[in-house]
Amino acid sequence: MNAEQIANAQALSKSLRMDSGGLMMGDYVTGGLTNETFNRLQKALVASPSTPGGPGDGSSLIPQSLARTLKNVTFKLNKVKLWRAIAKQDAYAMEEEYDQITQYGVRGGIFTSAMATPQGNDSTFDRLQVRMTYMATAYATDIAIMATEVIGGSAEALQINDATRYLLGGVERQLFYADSTLIPSAFNGVKSIIKGFAQSKGFTNVIINAQASGISVDHLENALQAIQDNSGDPENGLYAAYMAPRVQSYFTKTYAPAQRTEINQTQLIRDGRLWVGTPVDGYNSTYGPLGMVNDIFLNHDVPVSNPIQGAPATPTGVSAALNTTSSEDPNIGTSMWQTPDSAQDYGVGYNGGPVTYAIEAVNAAGPSLLSGATTTVTVGAGESVTVTWARVTSQPSANYYQIYRSMNGGAWQPVARVADSGGSSLTQSWTDENITVAGAYDVFIINHDAEEGLVFKQLLPFFKWPLPIPTLARYFAVALLGAPLIYVPSRCAVIENIQVPGGIAAPVQLS
């Protein structure tokens, strides 16, 4: 209502009379204030604050104001950081092909004599392809909410916006962690691309194992050195390190007060008040600058609390058995069920103790409810735990299993994703060597050079698609058709198996 309309409403007071706790209107509203608007104003004025309505007692809910009160308690688009940063390139087919030159020739001599034939050599090329994948989510808006404006404005427009945000959030997470060996209809995310290339082409120097410690300058320096050794250009300023907020916060707290809370009177005294504490938002390595980006979509998975339509059934028959010896497989490495230098450095129960396990079954629709917990197993140095469960083979079946571990009765932390074994066996097992600590984080050092780094190839950008109408509602899907690729994966890096000790402790004293 504008000032003129309010004045008109006040002028109408002479034609209104009070009658047993209510306003009676003596005439239709004139002067630009419509009857509908006046009725809304009257409803707000006569609502008694002493007798509020409730959603379950049959009375009307009392409007507290005429303002639109829809508030957002989930993520906004500014939290979708990797998707916004990567270059988008057009795709022209369901299978996009591209070339990689892997070497100019084999190592050999370059010297020769005047009459001799030079040593022969040849470049090596790989022809690669990436499959475009479908990403979509379906929403519906019923006819009642479209007519009543209960959320302010167009409900359908809001649903389209929400569907797009939901899909963007899923894409953001999967850009890091999607794995087509676990979900066949998925693309491969950054971790799968880098690790697959590193292991097949001999560039394992770009995979840094933090050995369950917090992120450190050593890890960042080693990763950027590996990129430099692989002919990358960190000095171009196009690299960024993506990490969970908790990881960046811990990295900030590892700096001594003289470095982090040094008083700079020009910058830190505002309006006569002293501000201390400088967040660490980047690292100047020997090879170039590295900006840091904290991304909430790198936080841990948590078990779902409500069933998801189309997801597998909850796994049953989950058990855990102690093995008194660790695996002798040389590819496993050294088990970390051992006493660390400081128990605080490795988190509760990391040095062994009572552990329990629970499992989700997962397919393209999402995870099942978490299974019941195993009995508690007390594990120590040099030991391992074998977890066994009944495979979920009835439709909808499981593509893989997300295994969670609880230490000393603490929260469930993700520890492994294990592909369904297939075949005729009714059960499946996995052995926990504690090579990757439960609740580990990853840091992704990504090259944003569109010529050699991470890009997203899109055959169809985000679009809305109408769906059949089975009920009195308007159904639609928001979809995207494309896939990420890294032209030269050896010029990106992954720092994995990072643990943040308690989320609050730091290895230096801040007082």
pLDDT of residue 17: 39
Q: Which two tokens stand for residue 479?
A: 């979809």
Is residue 417 located within the same domain as residue 481?
Answer: no
pLDDT at 301: 87
| Whether residue 49 has a cis bond before it, omega within 30° of 0 | no
Please report whether residue 64 resides in a domain.
no
Same-domain status, 433 and 452: no
Residue 507 sits in the same domain as residue 383: no
**According to the model, what pLDDT value does residue 21 have?**
40
Residue span of the structural domain in which 225 resides: 79-101+123-296+448-511
H/E/C letters for each residue in 415-449? EEEEECCCCCCCEEEEEECCCCCCCCEEEEEEECC
Q: Hunting for tokens 């400081």 — which residue is that?
A: 342
Beta-carbon neighbour count of residue 31 at 10 Å? 11
Evaluate whether 446 touches 454 at the Cβ level (below 8 Å).
Answer: yes
Are the C-beta atoms of 221 and 493 separated by less than 8 Å? no
Residue 278 lies in a domain: yes
Q: Does 347 lie in the same domain as 257? A: no
CA distances, 211 to each of 51, 155, 191, 263, 485 (Å): 60, 49, 17, 35, 28
Q: Report the pLDDT value the prediction gives residue 161, as an integer from 0 to 100.
A: 86
Same domain, 153 and 261: yes
Q: Is there a domain that residue 169 lies in?
A: yes
Residue from 425, 493, 416, 414 nearest 453 by CA: 493
In a domain, 63, yes or no: no
Note whether residue 138 is domain-resident.
yes
Nearest residue to 349 (alpha-carbon basis) of 336, 359, 358: 336
| pLDDT for the residue 75 | 67
Tens digits of pLDDT across the chain (511 residues): 555 555 554 554 444 433 444 334 434 444 555 667 656 655 555 544 444 445 555 544 544 444 455 556 666 778 899 999 999 999 999 999 988 877 777 777 888 889 888 888 888 888 889 999 999 999 988 887 777 766 666 788 888 888 999 999 999 999 999 999 999 999 999 999 999 999 998 899 999 999 888 899 999 999 999 999 998 889 888 999 999 999 998 898 877 555 555 555 556 666 767 666 677 889 999 999 999 999 999 999 899 999 999 999 999 999 999 988 655 544 444 455 544 444 333 333 345 678 899 999 999 999 999 999 999 998 877 788 999 999 999 999 999 999 999 988 888 999 999 999 999 999 999 998 888 888 899 999 999 999 999 999 999 999 999 898 888 888 999 999 999 999 999 999 999 999 887 644 444 433 2
One domain for residues 412 and 470: no
What type of residue is 384?
S
Q: What is the DSSP letter of 134?
A: E
Q: Are residues 230 and 252 in the same domain?
A: yes
Last residue of a domain, one of 395, 414, 438: 438
Longest dimension (CA), the chain: 118
Token pair 């992120």 is found at 215
In a domain, 340, yes or no: yes
137 in Cβ contact with 366 (< 8 Å): no
At position 176, the amino acid (one-letter code) is F
Cβ atoms of residues 155 and 146 within 8 Å = yes
**Final residue belonging to a domain, choices 420, 438, 456:** 438
CB 384 within 8 A of CB 332: no
pLDDT at 211: 84
> Domain check: are 92 and 199 in the same one?
yes
Residues 253 and 378 occupy one common structural domain: no
d(C-alpha 318, C-alpha 363), whole Å: 19
382 in a structural domain: yes
DSSP letter (8 states) at residue 268: H
* CB proximity list for 262: less than 8 A, separation 6 or greater: 278
Contacts of 47 (CB under 8 A, 6+ apart): 62, 63
Are both 420 and 477 inside the same structural domain? no
Which DSSP state fits 343? H
* CATH code of residue 87: 3.90.1690
Number of domains in the chain: 2
Domain boundary among 438, 464, 487: 438
Within a domain: residue 71? no
Q: Tell whether 477 and 389 lie within a shared domain.
A: no
- Asked if residue 404 lies in contact with residue 370, where contact means CB atoms within 8 angstroms, the answer is yes
Are 403 and 371 in contact by the 8 Å Cβ rule? The answer is: no
Residues ≥6 apart with Cβ < 8 Å to 455: 86, 87, 88, 89, 484, 485, 486, 487
Residues 453 and 206: their CA atoms lie apart, in Å, by 14
Which residues face 485 on adjacent strands? 455
- Cβ atoms of residues 481 and 458 within 8 Å: yes
Residue 477 pairs in a beta bridge with: 138, 465
pLDDT confidence of residue 311: 97
Helix axes 155-177, 190-201, angle to 10 degrees: 20
The tokens of 454 are what? 């991470």
pLDDT at 410: 84
433 and 456 fall within a common domain: no
